[in-house]
Homo-oligomer: A and B are copies of this chain.
Amino acid sequence: MTTESSEGVYPATERTTPTRHSDRARYDVQAISAVLDEAITCHVGYVDDGEPIVVPTIHTRVDDQLYLHTSSGSRLAKLAGAEGGTPVCVTVTLLDGLVLARSQFNHSMNYRSVVVRGTGTAVTDGQEKLDALAAVVEHIAQGRGRHSRPPTGKELAATALVRVPIAEASLKSRNGPPNDDEGDHELPYWAGVITVRTSYGPAFPAPDLPYDVPVPQQLANYTRRTR
Contacts and interface: CB of A to CB of B under 8 A. Distances in A.
Interface of A: 15, 19-20, 40-41, 43-47, 50-56, 58, 71, 73-75, 87-91, 93, 95, 98, 100-105, 107, 109, 111, 113, 115, 117, 133-134, 136-137, 140-141, 144-145, 147-152, 155, 158-159, 177-178, 180, 184-185, 187-209, 213-216, 219, 222
A176 B102 CA distance: 42
Contacts of A71: 19-20
Nearest to A186: B210
B195 A200 contact: yes
Given A98-B140, A206-B178, A104 B150 contact: yes
Nearest to A105: B155
A201 B195 contact: yes
Given A104-B150, A192-B203, 9 more contacts: A47-B50, A50-B87, A52-B88, A53-B89, A56-B93, A100-B219, A193-B204, A195-B204, A199-B199
B204 A190 contact: no
Contacts of A109: 40-41, 58
Contacts of A202: 194-195
Scoring A51, A58, A87 by chain B CB atoms within 10 A of each residue's CB, the highest score goes to A51
A27 to B, nearest CB: 17
B51 A104 contact: no
Contacts of A155: 103-105
Contact of A19 (B75, B206, B215): B75
Nearest to A214: B190
